[in-house]
Amino acid sequence: MSRRQYRPPPRVGHGPPDDTGCTILHVDMDAFYASASLIAHPELVGTPVIIGGGNRGVVLSATYEARAFGVTSAMPMGRARRLCPQATVLPPEHELYSRISSAVMATFADITPFVEPLSSDEAFLDVAGAVRLMGSPATIAQRIRDTVADEQGITCSVGVASTKFVAKLASGLAKPDGLLVIPADEVVTFVQQLPVGALWGVGDKTEEALSRLGLRTVADIAHTPRQTLIRALGEATGSHLHDLAWGRDPRSVEPVRRERSIGNERTFDHDVDDPDVVHRTLLALSDKVASRLRSAGLVGRTVSIKVRFADFTTISRSRSLRDATDVSRDIAALARELYDALGLQRARVRLVGVRVEQLSEASSTPVQVALDEPEHGWRDADRAVDRASARFGAGSVRPASLISDRGRRERPPTAGR
């Protein structure tokens, strides 16, 4: 049974739930990519919408109306279209998502320095230090919801609890566009009513193992001896699940986890065997990656490419630059070198990707200028493109070799991290 069919037990008495000591918040944007894309398409609000592209790509996101038909993230687009043929399909807008994500994270940082991003659209916050100035944890949670809605035009759901585990459960149950407080003295009752699949660390195989033991609810796990769980699941998993079943989660919020890499991929609608098409695609992907690096204030030293062939065989190659960069030209040149070094002869390519790794803050990394580079060189040109894109829209300024490709691009790139 789905965890969304569960709700906290009925409360006794009246008034709001007691959020004393519930200083951990989990904030999760509702259908983030889909909601952000709908800002420019208000006529589609309330209808099934899928964010993705091409019949051979995957679903990046879907509105709740599309999810009602069984459409889920990472599902092949072909299957999603069959499940919900009436859905409107919109291409991803990664620059928009990055811009909104940065603004949302800035909102969190205005409240507390203890922010632990889990992805571009969710984070844990520890608001213990903000309570005295901003009010109770529930008040702060509502302030976040109001700010995100007013400033970004999207909604988020917030779970408020005394631990990270319970706060994340609560935000999931509050979706969409809700706020749920789990009082500290109700944690055990709340957790133990849930199915075993609600616990962190319980995937399909672990759930099958628990089912063989006759354990179907968290209460069943809680009342099973720890050693029995350890014998069946191993020391780490058995102890972990037993602790969670009693609401115990000692982990603290770890502020700002640095991105380890930034990348983009493109799946072709049809297998490609023309090196010129692959070269142009690598250029477009490199341009996207470099733009995202600059937007995040990062530079990277290692460039890698991924190539997937028609038979789904996938290979990757990487090489490090002498100096970290966020310049589109540098990334594209190395990506092309890596591809050409493969020596492929009319190989049928299904997907290519470009990724930059070994990231660091641009402000703390010295910029090396090549001897033959003019005073105002490629880096300045890239920033001029960024300004034009911000004013006139993504893709308004593009490399000349891509202009003729505009009308026949197979699908927009999809971001990966």
How does strand 122-126 pair with strand 24-29?
antiparallel
Closest to 263 measured CA to CA, from 351, 385, 378, 142:
351
- How much is the pLDDT for 124? 96
Average pLDDT of the residues of the chain: 84
* Residue 157 or residue 386, greater confidence: 157
* Residue 152 or residue 10, greater confidence: 152
> Given 93, 95, 116, 122, which residue is catalytic?
122
- How confident is the model over 377-404, as pLDDT tens digits? 556 656 565 555 555 555 555 565 555 5
| Residue 28, annotated as binding a ligand | yes
Q: Are 7 and 182 in contact (CB under 8 A)?
A: no
> Largest Cα–Cα distance in the chain?
76
DSSP string, 272-285: E--HHHHHHHHHHH
In a domain, 4, yes or no: no
Give yes or no: residues 208 and 153 share one domain.
no
Give yes or no: residues 35 and 132 share one domain.
yes
**How many domains does the chain contain in total?**
3
- How confident is the model over 34-53, as pLDDT tens digits? 999 999 999 999 999 999 97
Q: Are 330 and 291 in contact (CB under 8 A)?
A: no
Range of the domain at 267: 261-416
- How much is the pLDDT for 202? 85
In a domain, 12, yes or no: no
Q: Are 300 and 356 in contact (CB under 8 A)?
A: yes
In a domain, 10, yes or no: no
Q: What angle do CA 261, 351, 99 make, to 5 degrees?
A: 40
Q: For residue 215, what are the contacts with CB-CB under 8 A and spacing of at least 6?
A: 196, 221, 224
Q: What is the mean pLDDT of residues 215-232?
A: 92
Give yes or no: residues 73 and 136 share one domain.
yes
Active site residue 43: no
- How confident is the model over 341-380, as pLDDT tens digits? 998 878 899 999 999 998 887 765 454 444 445 444 556 6
In a domain, 210, yes or no: yes
Q: In the numeric block, which tokens belong to residue 416?
A: 């990966």
In a domain, 256, yes or no: no
State the pTM of this model. Answer: 0.65
The length of the chain is 417
- How confident is the model over 252-262, as pLDDT tens digits? 998 865 667 89
324/308 Cα distance (integer angstroms): 27
Q: For residue 337, what are the contacts with CB-CB under 8 A and spacing of at least 6?
A: 319
CA-based radius of gyration for the chain: 24
